[in-house]
Amino acid sequence: MQMPQDGEDLASQPWYHGPLARQKAEALLQQDGDFLVRASGSRGGHPVLTCRWRGSALHFEVLRVVLRPRPGRPPALFQLEDERFPSLPALVHSYVTNQRPLSQATGAVASRPVTRQGPLRRSFSEDTLTDSPARREPLRTRKWSDSQPAGLEHMGQSRQDCSGPGALAMPPSAVPRTGSDPLLLKTQATLGSVADSLRASDGQLHAKAPTKPPRTPSLALPDASGRPPTYCELVPRVPSAQGTRPGQGCPEPETPWWEAHEEDQEDKTFQRPQAEVSFCPPDTTCRLLGPQNRPLEPGVLRTLRGLFLEHHPESTALHLLLVDCQATGLLGVTRAQKGAMGVASGLELVTLPQGHRLRLELLERQEALALAGAVAVLGCAGPLEERAAALRGLVELALALRPGAAGDLPGLAAVMGALLMPQVSRLERTWRQLRQSHTEAAVAFEQELKPLMRALDESVGPCEPGEVALPHVAPLVRLLEGEELAGPPDESCEQLLRTLSGGRRMARDAPKFREVAVQRLRGFRLNPELREVLTTSFVKRLLWGSRGAGAPRAERLKKFQRVLSILSQRLEPDD
């Protein structure tokens, strides 16, 4: 089979289906190896390669890396795992013709494209996936000019008065007056209506010299500063579907809640801080879990596996950073919560007596996430390579969470807790397979991640705002809750002083950590499903079921440790 390589135009590729829901895409795949590329609605039109493999539909997000414009190189690169390609068709062509696995974890191979039936549905956001010159040109409207021979008979008449075979077929509101016509744009038209109104018959009548640029742009260009829009044809913006009134620009996109700064009102009255302040949202209806679910439902675990395989470790790390910042009370804190806890951030509350509930929630969240990561490895009852690939995925996620990357140290501690769990670390054959098949990940785990985690637990690791967006709070939380600190016994006093000193700096630098977290998440495309599965309430219901999630914490942990031990023994029994 030959894959077309005619430039960057996705519309000419038979395997590209445009905006297509996940369920409809899965229904089109009949046999192993069938694949298509679609624009994901939940990812803002981002390309996703959907492939059927071993009876299941897998979804792989194609990462688009934007480059600085330079002569002789493409404006963006596309990649699935490691290798990057100058275009999306080039990526598909390489993987299909060479029969390369789309990911090392699944081994899925795309071999037969599912041809698109019918015309391609397009949205303006899809133009970001292509870089052809034709797509970069803004949509130009046909100039109404009485200098044409066919228009001489209409001299002195308005457009509404023109009729007959020489008149335009489109309504006056569909295309703005441009060129020498002095009137301004009266009605904004959506991109689809403008495109539908331009027909081949309108390209009458005679060839003429290049037209002057229009006095008003064909698409509205609002200025972020609130000033009247200026003329520019190079960076068009799409008006809203409802249209705007004359003189108004397009509404700017709503600022994400994690970037919005709430203005504090002066309140000189003293309010007694409350002890019951929680940033863990109450149990709500989950999209992937029913109202009454059992622990570790196989269907839900398969869905979660596909969801995580669809995202790169960097994307998953940013989702985890967002949820961790909300659970810690660094982002999304309301004015009512600030008044109730007496401080402006959860990083300050965790050091105070009234932060007892928050400290317990943070401990339970880290433990639950670590158990879920262990299940991702111990639940792989298939080939040995499958478990090694699961280990590699956790290592790559830990690398994406480390300081200097996402900088989410609580998330890093949870992932490392899963990798260092006794039931996981005892799998000698699995770790040996990791060193053989994924040597780079194994070396990074031994030489970088393990020393880093040891330093963080002993309160000597990196903790400055900038390379860290959310500090490691577990040592301080365990100390304040009366638990023993990890580390050599002869250095316990020094470690105690380091932990307390680090807690004071953490509370003092809480505004700086918030700024760093907002900067990390700027331009971040949120997937609601992935965000939901990373919340504490979802992980608890996944592990212990809807009934067991309400049991006492110590009892739940004790029972689940036995479950993990049984799974580990089944995978690699003791000799």
- Decide if pLDDT at 208 tops 90: no
Burial class of residue 11 (count of CB atoms within 10 Å of its CB; 0-12, 13-18, 19+): middle
Give the position of tokens 């409809």: 24
* DSSP sequence for 9-74: -GGG-TTEEEE--HHHHHHH--STTEEEEEEETTTTSEEEEEEEETTEEEEEEPEEEE----TTS-
Q: What is the pLDDT of residue 117?
A: 82
Q: What is the pLDDT of residue 270?
A: 53
Q: What is the pLDDT of residue 484?
A: 77
Mean pLDDT of 180-209: 42
555 against 41, higher pLDDT: 555
Phi-psi region of 61 (alpha: psi -120 to 50; beta: other; left: phi over 0): beta
- Tell me the one-letter amino acid at 539: V
Give the position of tokens 């580390």: 487
* DSSP sequence for 105-140: TT-----EE----SPPP--GGGGGG---HHHHSPPP
- Decide if pLDDT at 207 tops 50: no
34 against 138, higher pLDDT: 34
Confidence of residue 260 (pLDDT cuts 50, 70, 90): low
Mean pLDDT of 476-493: 80
* Short-list 355, 351, 366, 343, CA closest to 511: 343
Which DSSP category does 78 fall into? E
* DSSP sequence for 223-244: -TTSSPP---SSS--PPPTT--
CATH architecture of 298-571: Orthogonal Bundle (1.10)
Summary mean pLDDT of the chain: 76
pLDDT digits (tens, 9 = 90+) for 41-87: 766 678 889 999 888 888 888 888 777 777 777 888 888 877 888 88
Asked if 409 and 456 touch (Cβ cutoff 8 Å), the reply is: yes
- Decide if pLDDT at 222 tops 70: no
Q: What is the pLDDT of residue 354?
A: 87
β-pair type (34-40, 112-113) = parallel
Mean pLDDT of 98-118: 86
Q: What is the pLDDT of residue 478?
A: 92
Chain-centre distance of CA 244, in angstroms? Answer: 30
The CA distance from 479 to 496, in Å, is 8
The CA distance from 401 to 467, in Å, is 11
The CA distance from 486 to 492, in Å, is 8
Dihedral (C-alpha) 466, 367, 536, 45: value to the nearest 10 degrees? Answer: 60
Q: By percentage, how much of the chain surpasses pLDDT 70?
A: 69
Q: Which residues does 562 contact at the CB level (< 8 Å), separation at least 6?
A: none
The residues spanned by each domain of the chain are 10-117, 298-571
Phi, psi of 112 (to 5 degrees): -125, 115
The CA distance from 240 to 190, in Å, is 7
Q: What is the pLDDT of residue 411?
A: 96
Q: Which residues pair with 77 in a beta bridge?
A: 65
H/E stretch holding 76: strand 76-79
Phi-psi region of 164 (alpha: psi -120 to 50; beta: other; left: phi over 0): left
Q: Which residues does 525 contact at the CB level (< 8 Å), separation at least 6?
A: 43, 44, 46, 315
* Short-list 479, 483, 397, 414, CA closest to 453: 414
Q: Which range (101-115, 282-296, 315-329, 437-451) has the least confidence?
A: 282-296
The CA distance from 537 to 540, in Å, is 5
Q: By percentage, how much of the chain surpasses pLDDT 90?
A: 39
Asked if 16 and 78 touch (Cβ cutoff 8 Å), the reply is: no
Q: Where is mean pLDDT largest: 227-236, 260-269, 342-351?
A: 342-351
Distances in Å between the Cα of 181 and the Cα atoms of 165, 178, 195, 208 are 22, 6, 21, 17
Q: What is the pLDDT of residue 334?
A: 85
- Decide if pLDDT at 264 tops 90: no
Q: What is the pLDDT of residue 257?
A: 64
pLDDT digits (tens, 9 = 90+) for 379-402: 988 889 999 999 999 999 999 999
Distances in Å between the Cα of 257 and the Cα atoms of 35, 105, 112, 519 are 37, 34, 43, 13
Q: What is the pLDDT of residue 179?
A: 42
Q: What is the CATH T-level fold of the domain 10-117, as seen in this structure?
A: SHC Adaptor Protein (3.30.505)
Q: What is the pLDDT of residue 490?
A: 66
Q: What is the pLDDT of residue 347?
A: 94
Q: What is the pLDDT of residue 318?
A: 95
Q: Provide Rg for the chain, Cα atoms.
A: 29
Q: What is the pLDDT of residue 178?
A: 42
Lookup: tokens for 225: 């500063």
- Decide if pLDDT at 227 tops 70: no
Q: What is the pLDDT of residue 239?
A: 38
Q: Which residues does 391 contact at the CB level (< 8 Å), separation at least 6?
A: 377, 419, 424, 430, 431, 434, 438, 441
Q: What is the pLDDT of residue 225?
A: 41
- Decide if pLDDT at 345 tops 60: yes
- Decide if pLDDT at 278 tops 50: yes
Q: Where is mean pLDDT largest: 163-167, 268-272, 501-505?
A: 501-505
Q: What is the pLDDT of residue 191?
A: 39
Give the position of tokens 């991640």: 449
